[in-house]
Amino acid sequence: MSATWGRDFRVSIFGESHGSHIGIVIDGLPCGFKIDFEKVLKEMSRRAPGKSSISTSRKEDDIPEVISGVFNGYTTGAALAAIIKNKDYRSKDYSQLKDIMRPGHADYTSKIKYRGYNDYRGSGTFSGRITAALVFAGAIAKQILEEKDIYIASHIFSVKDIEDEKFSDATLTREKFRELNNAEISLLNSEKEDEIRRLVLETKKEGDSLGGIVECAAIGVRAGVGDPFFDSVESKISSIAFSVPAVKGIEFGSGFEITKMKGSNANDNFYFDEDGSIKTITNHNGGINGGISNGMPIVFRAAIKPTPSISMKQKTINIESRENTELELKGRHDPIIVPRVTVVLESVMAIALLDLID
Amino acid sequence: MSATWGRDFRVSIFGESHGSHIGIVIDGLPCGFKIDFEKVLKEMSRRAPGKSSISTSRKEDDIPEVISGVFNGYTTGAALAAIIKNKDYRSKDYSQLKDIMRPGHADYTSKIKYRGYNDYRGSGTFSGRITAALVFAGAIAKQILEEKDIYIASHIFSVKDIEDEKFSDATLTREKFRELNNAEISLLNSEKEDEIRRLVLETKKEGDSLGGIVECAAIGVRAGVGDPFFDSVESKISSIAFSVPAVKGIEFGSGFEITKMKGSNANDNFYFDEDGSIKTITNHNGGINGGISNGMPIVFRAAIKPTPSISMKQKTINIESRENTELELKGRHDPIIVPRVTVVLESVMAIALLDLID
Amino acid sequence: MSATWGRDFRVSIFGESHGSHIGIVIDGLPCGFKIDFEKVLKEMSRRAPGKSSISTSRKEDDIPEVISGVFNGYTTGAALAAIIKNKDYRSKDYSQLKDIMRPGHADYTSKIKYRGYNDYRGSGTFSGRITAALVFAGAIAKQILEEKDIYIASHIFSVKDIEDEKFSDATLTREKFRELNNAEISLLNSEKEDEIRRLVLETKKEGDSLGGIVECAAIGVRAGVGDPFFDSVESKISSIAFSVPAVKGIEFGSGFEITKMKGSNANDNFYFDEDGSIKTITNHNGGINGGISNGMPIVFRAAIKPTPSISMKQKTINIESRENTELELKGRHDPIIVPRVTVVLESVMAIALLDLID
Amino acid sequence: MSATWGRDFRVSIFGESHGSHIGIVIDGLPCGFKIDFEKVLKEMSRRAPGKSSISTSRKEDDIPEVISGVFNGYTTGAALAAIIKNKDYRSKDYSQLKDIMRPGHADYTSKIKYRGYNDYRGSGTFSGRITAALVFAGAIAKQILEEKDIYIASHIFSVKDIEDEKFSDATLTREKFRELNNAEISLLNSEKEDEIRRLVLETKKEGDSLGGIVECAAIGVRAGVGDPFFDSVESKISSIAFSVPAVKGIEFGSGFEITKMKGSNANDNFYFDEDGSIKTITNHNGGINGGISNGMPIVFRAAIKPTPSISMKQKTINIESRENTELELKGRHDPIIVPRVTVVLESVMAIALLDLID
């Protein structure tokens, strides 16, 4: 396993879905920062399970216990460690999965890699649950960035074929970001919420699952952030974003769409704004040129695959008996994780930017 | 700058487009490996400029000089350094770019980041030319992987709206890969070549440029490669792929398309093949589950934006006079870099896999 | 703070002396290893305070709670995290130290570095207490190394002017190592124990403290371990050994004494032993040539300074009032930490070797 | 091999004694720094061979060629690469060493590690020659530190039993440092020079060699530098110092001598100086408390073993024939490398401090 990420702002993550705790060590925090723990808890509740009719019924308070690095309410400069107790797990739900490999999940690959010693209960360290620790670190990173006037938000860009709007000048604002951070379901066009909810419930009834796309952005990043050749803004964000389970694609700015344009359209023309600041007319490059921020909003979209744990009957293998077999999953599963992943992607973006900015 | 990449197989890259040399230090090579330099040169020539009517007219031999780490034809176990002389550069072509920022390029961001001290000639260290050093390292990595029965190839998946075929079982073979590696323009459906060539020449005449998508794959990677949480196969490949100039998106397997499927379709069902090996019926996950290879081909697509240097008149700024202005670029530029980028992406995939496999 | 060490076997340490817990995350462990926790506890008790008349009277059970990475008694391959509760601390003992800087301690430097936000109670993260977490990781590393026939032990080489014997062929054996690992006070010449004990108690009565030298060795390391240029065996061991509070010097083999020899004496002549193995007649190089192990025992000595916290009156400064002042320390302090540091140095040696061997 | 060192200021070293070049890539340099290359060359000449009657007769100009990272005389912010051509090598001198292992040298360990593929000519990458590249990087680092009012110098503390003075308040001054940096043989008490020279020449005539101790110091480092737990000032300096061939011990401040003191003597008492600055009366801790600089001079001593290559007859093994044998070395060797190592240790200290300060 490779549990540590970052050069100057480092996180070391640990935990397994049905172990006693998950947690994280955060290293490289500035000293003297007053963490707003209420805000941290709010961020964590955005990811926590059992909150809505469209997520798993597993219920976890996800209350992190800070066990080092904070004294009298301020960061001490020493490593900050936090642990989160696992409470509502039902390991018997998973006993059949010891030998029968869920398609699309890490059961098979982790069994091979760890020669059967991996904690397979609740997907072990491959559970989306581990991302609660990332959200904890990200929530702190977001607060530190806000002191530098950098704000991060995201929204559900699409669920299957249902599309929200794209971020635009009108929505890349602090006001809208605050709104998105507070919403139960983050959408720019809130009218889509019912449609999404209906599709999710219907799919859940079928025993199937859904994926979607999350769009995430940071505003207020000054020009000059990013360390090419290898620590480009895109490299750093994608490196940690692809650690988030279920992410299968990432694109910055216009991303794959930019390949359909000609250079004369794709190039974002610079101009001096009335206040003397330098801006670009369009933002097809997602705020990044040559791996370095150009002062425009940094925007990326991540593709989230449908939850692999579905209750419909699936063809698969029994790795012990070495036979083809079928699997009907019991247990509580999210029919879609897209709404819960939004805050996870904001968190990894915050961690990546803070590592580059420091 | 952040010039070093990798944990166990490390590369340190250096050089600027119009400096005396570019080069790379490769650390973590096995000792006793006989490098086939003829094959290395062939890979480098796939990227080298001036080879075809649809690339820049700058001509570089791109002959790397190995100055350490090889003795009697075998790797010694010590760091292997190679340098490549820059020959055919015309720095006067770039003098106007000291103050006038090319839209879509790194001129502005590098000027801000390096406070005007960056070598702006030929885009300095932001030139695609630097990737020649990556191809050198990648060509060696590919040879080492081939000893482990791992083969890597790529093809132009699309140029603007012109699409090639997708990789399929029929084309994910050693024979096809050898063919692709030898082709001047890598396409699965070679009938598209003329169409692409026409579009490129026409666009060049307009003084404009094109982008596209490259699809890259590795076959023969055994199940169990990848180190989650943070060193997932996707994290490693994307981290280094986004260091390649012009890459704005990456997706694995079905990527963004997987978000349109339901779980029952997106999940790749496992089965025992006749020879007892474990395979999946589909490969929507691109050979990776939970960040770890599952034995199926590893497949990704990267979005390459249109070359930002175009000769059409563009609106931009003069950063010295602090005025809005227009720019008509002189100099030799690629109307499209997609065909030359294929081997670069194969190289970074090889470097990333070798770092994970070691 | 820089809380993470290691490339392939990584540890991330956290905690403060009077915080709720200290702990460690261990990453890069092999999967399927059965940890003998009884042995781990025995190692930890060698370091734990309150065990003997010559250590601090602070009593801590130092029972680590493993919260991830172990399943059914075996390592899972995922990061192993362990936390240790702080129990018997008396923070009021330290309140005077907020402004009055103990000479020889980290009070002043940490106050400057962390701008007064550091947790000064019990020296915070600068407390020797943090090394309990290192011993936990080291105890596991030692067990893994023992499976590779590598054994590590240490002894008190000197306390002030009282000298034990040096390691020799007769004592660099598994039997002796087992004995040393089990001794309350590790000495080759156990007759020195009374003399040391008398000196310590006498010094304690004076309100003063003592230092000494620890000699540590590993037997069974095959030739070929170490990664020059920068990851020489000496570089790795010294890098982590100097993280242990109070270490002010380290030497390998004959160390500083080798500078008094001529090359003809200092060179360790190779010979074929009767069993065909390659050995050296002497071991002035401490088992390391060119940064790589040569198959002979790896031996180093570390200088441990006298405990800086003494109860004798000392001249120092009040950093708030900006006045010269005097300090008479209350609280419980070790008159010497040398006996407790032995196992800490064995632990860091084990961690360093495991990172190089993996 | 592990060729890269550093977190924020990184060096990647390469080259073999009889290869075409040695060199270094320096990453993390500030942009816009005007390197004084004349000063760099002067530093390199302090290490270069063939300069005096007491070093090897191999002559190398050691003129580094900067091939990237400098534009118009200023650092660009991109990686700076420099190469140094090997000129005066005589590889036939070493042919006998393919099978016969020099005692005390890396011949045996490198042969085992690299399975005989290592470039054994002139000790390959284990040659002290490689340190020329470190001196190049160190010379630049020293210049950058001088802009921050940090100065580094060293002197020969001892050669065998002949001792120079120790650094003291009187000699830890910029004036003295400038003098030491300019001296051919760096000594505080220059009257020892003749005695040393006589001993060296006499030893050379015997076909034997000598070692010694180098004392190195930095003045002007403000309090607060160093990143415990793992990146203590001692950890960083020792990690890179032990990469320098022949270093077998390192101690900070009073080092091993501090173990002979009681705490009341070893503790450096703080006081407010007349100008309001905080100082310590003594400096037994070598300017470092708790791994962090305290504003006093940072002082370390390194033990340099006698050059292992001696022409006296030595017992050793022939690894091919697997027989015990004798070796009489031909070739040009330093009878002592201590004088040439002084500038190497200053260089690694500069690199380590710059990595911590940045």
Angle between helix C338-357 and helix C37-47 axes, rounded to 10 deg: 140
Dihedral (CA of A230, A231, A234, A237) sign: positive
How many angstroms separate the CA atoms of A126 and A110, rounded?
9
d(CA B1, CA D36): 21
CA distance B78 to chain C (A): 9
**Residue A100 tokens, joined:** 């029968």
The alpha carbon of D173 is separated from its chain's Cα centroid by a whole number of angstroms, namely 21
Residue B267's pLDDT is what?
Answer: 98
CA A334 to chain centre: 15
Calpha distance C103→D270 (Å, rounded): 6
Both structure tokens of B11: 């590369």
What's the pLDDT score for residue C289?
A: 98
Which residues of chain D are within 8 Å of residue A229 when distances are taken between CB atoms?
Answer: 79
In a 13 Å sphere around the CA of D32, the CA atoms on its Cβ side amount to 9
Asked if D68 and B4 come within 8 Å (Cβ–Cβ), the reply is: no
With H, G, I as helix, E, B as strand and everything else as coil, classify residue B116.
coil
Using 50, 70 and 90 to split pLDDT, how confident is the model at C55?
Answer: low
Residues of chain D with pLDDT under 50: none
Q: What mean pLDDT is predicted for residues B57-69?
A: 84
Chain C with chain D: Cβ pairs closer than 8 A: 363
- Backbone φ and ψ of D342, nearest 5°: -50, -50
Amino acid at C156: I
Give the count of alpha carbons within 13 A of D100, CB side only. 17
Look at the block and give the residue holding tokens 């601390």.
Answer: C89
Model pLDDT, residue C121: 87
Confidence of residue A358 (pLDDT cuts 50, 70, 90): confident
Residue C353 and residue C8 in contact, taking contact as beta carbons nearer than 8 Å: no
The set of residues, in sequence order, having a beta carbon less than 8 Å from that of C286 and lying 6+ positions away, is C252, C253, C254, C255, C297, C298, C299, C300, D248
Q: Which residue bears the tokens 């009517």?
A: B53
Ranking B52-66, B102-116, C308-322, D304-318 by mean pLDDT, the lowest is B52-66
- Give the number of other CB atoms < 10 A from CB of residue A40: 21
Closest by Cβ to C27, choosing from A4, A75, A121: A4
Min CA distance, B105 vs chain A (Å)?
A: 6
The sign one gets for the Cα dihedral D68, D74, D76, D78 is positive
Bond from prior residue into B167 cis (ω within 30 degrees of 0)? no
Continuous segment of H or E residues that includes residue D136:
helix D131-147
Q: Between A7, A79, A229, which is nearest D7 by CB?
A: A7
Q: State what percent of residues in chain A have pLDDT above 90.
A: 87
Whether A142 shows a pLDDT value over 80: the answer reads yes
pLDDT bucket at A112, cuts 50 / 70 / 90: very high
Q: Report the DSSP beta bridge partners of residue A294.
A: none
pTM over 0.90: yes
For residue D231, give the 3-state DSSP assignment.
strand
pLDDT at B52: 66
Residue C58 has pLDDT above 70, yes or no: no
Residue ranges of B 22-61 with Cβ closer than 8 A to chain D = 22-23, 25, 27-28, 31-32
What would the two tokens of residue D171 be?
């000699």
B106 touches chain A (CB under 8 A): yes
Min Cα separation A113/chain C (Å):
9
Residues 6+ away with beta carbon under 8 Å from B349: B138, B152, B216, B218, B237, B241, B298, B300
Average the pLDDT over B221-242 and give the result: 98
Look at phi and psi of residue D130 and say left if phi exceeds 0, alpha if psi is from -120 to 50, else beta. alpha
Pairing between β-strand C4-5 and β-strand C162-163 as defined by DSSP bridges: unpaired
Helix (H/G/I), strand (E/B), else coil: A331 = coil
Contact at 8 Å (CB) between B274 and B290? Answer: no
Answer for the pair A23, A82: CB distance below 8 angstroms, yes or no.
Answer: yes
- Give the nearest partner residue to A126 out of B209, B228, B288, using CB atoms: B228
Place of tokens 């899972």: C76
Give the H or E element holding residue B331: none
Region A168-197: mean pLDDT is 96
Rounded to the nearest integer, the mean pLDDT of chain A is 94
Per-residue pLDDT band for B93 (boundaries 50, 70, 90) equals: low
Q: Residue C306 corresponds to which tokens in the numbers above?
A: 């006298």
DSSP H helical segments within chain B, as ranges?
37-47, 107-113, 131-147, 174-182, 192-205, 233-241, 263-266, 338-357
C169-194 mean pLDDT: 96
The reported pLDDT for the residue numbered B50 is 66
Can you point out the beta strands (E) in A65-174?
Answer: 65-68, 70-71, 74-75, 80-85, 151-159, 162-163
Distance between CA atoms of residues C199 and B335, nearest Å: 83
- For an interface test with C, the pick among D208, D244, D305, D319 (most C C-beta atoms closer than 10 Å) comes out as D305
Give D96 or C186, the one with higher predicted confidence. Answer: C186
SS3 state at D27: strand
**Are the CB atoms for A250 and A242 separated by under 8 Å?**
yes
Cβ(C293)–Cβ(C226) below 8 Å: yes
Instruction: Give me D1's structure tokens.
Output: 């091999």
Q: Which residue has the higher pLDDT, A333 or B281?
A: B281
Coil, strand or helix: which one is D82?
Answer: strand
| Residue D226 CB neighbour total at 10 angstroms | 29
Question: Looking at residues A92-112, what average pLDDT do you find?
Answer: 87
What is the 3-state composition of chain C as percent helix, strand, coil, each rounded to the nearest 5? 30, 25, 45
CA of A23, closest CA in chain B: separation in Å? 13
D270: which 2 tokens? 């703080």
A229 preceded by cis ω (within 30°)? Answer: yes
Judging contacts by C-beta atoms under 8 Å, the chain A residues touching residue D7 are: 7-8
For range C153-173, the mean pLDDT:
97
Angstrom distance (rounded) from CA A16 to CA D351: 40
Q: A30 exposed, middle or buried (CB, 10 Å; 0-12, 13-18, 19+)?
A: middle
The H or E element spanning position D249 is: strand D247-252
Cβ distance B243 to A253 less than 8 Å, yes or no, reads no
Beta-carbon contacts below 8 Å between A and D: 6
Nearest-Cα distance to chain A for C331, in Å, is 21
How many Å is the maximal CA-CA distance in chain B?
72
Q: What is the DSSP string of A147-168?
A: HTT-EEEEEEEEETTEE-PPP-
- d(CA B325, CA B339) in angstroms, rounded, equals 33
Is C16 within 8 Å of A76 when comparing Cβ atoms? yes
Where is average pLDDT lowest: A99-108, C285-294, C327-336?
A: C327-336
Query: B289, B221, B284: which is closest to B251 by C-alpha?
Result: B284
Q: What's the pLDDT at A99?
A: 92
pLDDT band at C98 (very low <50, low <70, confident <90, very high): confident
Nearby residues of D271 by Cβ (< 8 Å), 6 or more positions away: C315, C316, C317, C324, D278, D279, D280, D281
Task: Name D184's Cβ contacts closer than 8 Å, sequence gap at least 6.
Answer: D51, D52
Overall residue count recorded for chain C in this entry: 358
C-alpha–C-alpha distance, residues C38 and C35, integer Å: 9
Residue C269, chain D, CB below 8 Å: the answer is yes
Query: In chain C, positions 65-94, which contact chain D (CB-CB < 8 Å)?
Result: none
Interatomic CA distance for residues C214 and C209, integer angstroms: 16
C273 touching D (Cβ < 8 Å): no
Among the partner-chain residues B7, B79, B229, the one whose CB lies closest to the CB of C7 is B7
Paired tokens of B298: 């590893």
Q: List the one residue out of B105, B211, B245, B204 whose CA is nearest residue A260.
A: B211
Please give the angle made by the CA atoms of A233, A238 and A242, to the nearest 5 degrees: 165
Chains with ≥3 Cβ pairs under 8 A against D?
A, B, C
| Residue C44 in tokens | 């930890």
Strands (E), C33-99: 65-68, 70-71, 74-75, 80-85
Query: Residues D52, D35: contact at Cβ < 8 Å?
Result: no
Q: Is the dihedral of CA C140, C144, C145, C151 positive or negative?
A: positive
ipTM rounded to 2 decimals:
0.97
Q: Which residue has the tokens 């063809």?
A: A315
Sheet holding C80-85, edge to edge: C4-5, C10-15, C21-27, C80-85, C65-68
Question: What phi and psi values does residue D196 have, to the nearest 5 degrees?
Answer: -65, -45
Residue B51 reports pLDDT greater than 70: no
Residue B294: φ, ψ to 5°:
-110, 10
Is pLDDT of B94 > 70? no
